Structure 1
């Protein structure tokens, strides 16, 4: 549910999850070989009223601007995982969820209020899986966690 604090989900037996920002990796997470995975665009549109959505990418294929054109998300091309971690740190006090799959996502996932690793068609780095609090079988399932918060409750409750 959305509040002035951002997206808020009470987790029974644990702290309430408050998130204002959603940071997303692009290649291997939202996109496969540089093309947006089918179903992602609709979910990004649905999530944008709930949280500030931002894509952080090395833009391996040079397609991020075209792929995200017209969608209500910001994107930033970054050089390293350290850049993703710095952006995460800058937003942390407002609450940030991060979703990624690669080696350069490890610090972003571990620093975020909530880190979600994605097992996609391009695979996932083993350290990304251990840095995240939740591992999703694909990007659609990962984004659906935020659209259907009871799924997060089920995964995070002690």
Structure 2
């Protein structure tokens, strides 16, 4: 678990990390270099879930690299399915990282939503629903490894 308090906002007790795959931790279906190490470090504190449509059919290759539970979703109604997944896990204890339009609602319902722009870009709807916006997945994962950075960004 990752615990911290943001002055003027709330106390966070994060147990789960939900990530989109393509565009968030992978580009063109391939895991972004450096992500494996960061996720391995975070897996000591958080239960990690990947929710994806698996556009490039490569997420299973990634699954063996770190401790993560992979959920491949059908192409229909992904916005709702991803948000429902976060709600079932426990939205008050879940941090979400994503970039696509189909990630927008799961960022909104989570305790902490982080949008990643990355090489693929990010949906403006997802940016609006994020608590924090990062340039890269490495930046986003490093925030979780050093929660004082989150406190500095979100303090009221």
- Structure 2 residue runs of 5 or longer lacking an equivalent are none
- TM-score w.r.t. structure 2 length? 0.94
- Are 1:20 and 1:94, in contact at CA under 8 Å, matched by a contact in 2? no
CA RMSD of the aligned region, Å?
1.1
- Are 1:34 and 1:64, in contact at CA under 8 Å, matched by a contact in 2? yes
- TM-score w.r.t. structure 1 length? 0.93
Provide the rounded CA distance (Å) in 2 between the counterparts of 1:145 and 1:22: 13
Moved over 2 A (4+): none
- Are 2:36 and 2:65, in contact at CA under 8 Å, matched by a contact in 1? no
Say which is worse superposed, 94-103 or 67-76, in terms of deviation. 67-76
- Structure 1 residue runs of 5 or longer lacking an equivalent are 1-5
Say which is worse superposed, 13-22 or 50-59, in terms of deviation. 13-22
Provide the rounded CA distance (Å) in 2 between the counterparts of 1:87 and 1:45: 22
The structure 2 residue matched to 1:66, chosen from 61, 65, 70, is 61
- Are 2:80 and 2:105, in contact at CA under 8 Å, matched by a contact in 1? yes
Say which is worse superposed, 85-94 or 141-150, in terms of deviation. 85-94
Provide the rounded CA distance (Å) in 1 between the counterparts of 2:91 and 2:82: 16
Provide the rounded CA distance (Å) in 1 between the counterparts of 2:110 and 2:92: 11
Aligned to 2:5: 10
Aligned to 2:15: 20
Aligned to 2:149: 151
The structure 2 residue matched to 1:110, chosen from 98, 108, 111, is 108
Q: How far apart are residue 14 of structure 1 and its match?
A: 2.6
- Are 1:21 and 1:94, in contact at CA under 8 Å, matched by a contact in 2? no
Q: SS at the partner of 1:16?
A: strand
